[in-house]
């Protein structure tokens, strides 16, 4: 893994933007995208740039089950608010959170990924080490799948909802096997609350108990950390 340590999320966003720009310059066509607060500074820098994605494809990591695309807490809505409305892609794929047949939707999404190999995948990192919504214990061989969110993930997401009871308890997520097929993976993590997960991901054993540790087996991973997230690493 290539580790880049920055002072804060703003500097992290600048570094993340550079990686997107370099990927685009070198012919990247399909971009795997993430939601949540972590990638926002990177998306802001992309929006402020002259990068043109009108010939590119985006594939998102995940979506809540039970939320319509136009729900202001859906990941579809998030992506339009924070990127797509200003930087549209030729085609943007997201899981359908209202699919009547969730298993069929998962298979459809796996085919999308198969047909459009991801050149650059951006990831955040959960406090429990999840990437996408692949919670601890998730099979390493799994593709897109239905996920029952852990209480720690529900708690972390509750700040976005008026009431905790409104937080979705399930999601559709790209699987670990799908993520590992990406040619280049960019993971960003900020804040002291991510420090234990960061240490486990980089220096701990490769274990299903910490899903992000699977990235130790990928040959092209860049990790952007602020000083707080990097604070427990032996070699900072």
Residue numbers annotated as active site: 62, 128, 130, 135
Nearest partner of 13 among 30, 50, 38, 36, judged by Cα? 38
Nearest partner of 143 among 183, 177, 116, 111, judged by Cα? 177
Q: Dump strand ranges (E) for 179-220.
A: 184-189
What is d(CA 209, CA 89) in angstroms, rounded to the nearest whole number? 35
Nearest partner of 56 among 23, 12, 78, 79, judged by Cα? 23
- Answer yes or no: are the C-beta atoms of 181 and 118 closer than 8 Å: yes
Among all chains, which residue has been given the structure tokens 């990928």? 218
52 — phi, psi (to 5°)?
Answer: -120, 120
Nearest partner of 74 among 192, 144, 168, judged by Cα? 168
Counted residue by residue, the chain has a size of 236
Nearest partner of 41 among 82, 94, 88, 87, judged by Cα? 82
């Amino acid at each position: 893994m290539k580790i880049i340590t920055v002072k804060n999320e703003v500097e992290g966003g600048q570094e993340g933007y550079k990686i997107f720009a370099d990927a685009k310059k070198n012919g990247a066509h399909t971009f795997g995208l993430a939601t949540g607060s972590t990638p926002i500074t990177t998306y802001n820098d992309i929006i402020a740039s002259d990068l043109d994605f009108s010939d590119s494809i985006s594939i998102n990591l995940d979506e809540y089950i039970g939320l319509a695309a136009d729900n202001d807490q859906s990941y579809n809505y998030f992506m339009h608010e924070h990127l797509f409305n200003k930087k549209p892609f030729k085609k943007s794929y997201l899981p359908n959170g209202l699919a009547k047949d969730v298993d069929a939707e998962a298979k459809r999404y796996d085919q999308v990924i198969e047909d459009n190999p991801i050149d650059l995948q951006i990831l955040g990192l959960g406090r429990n080490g999840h990437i996408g919504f692949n919670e601890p214990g998730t099979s390493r061989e799994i593709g897109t799948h239905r996920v029952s969110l852990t209480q720690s993930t529900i708690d972390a997401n509750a700040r976005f909802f008026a009431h905790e009871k409104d937080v979705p308890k399930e999601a559709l997520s790209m699987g670990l096997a799908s993520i590992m097929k990406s040619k280049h993976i960019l993971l960003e993590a900020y804040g002291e609350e991510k420090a234990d997960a960061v240490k486990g991901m980089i220096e701990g054993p490769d274990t299903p108990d910490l899903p992000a540790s699977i990235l130790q087996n990928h040959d092209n991973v860049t990790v952007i950390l602020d000083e707080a997230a990097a604070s427990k690493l032996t070699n900072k």
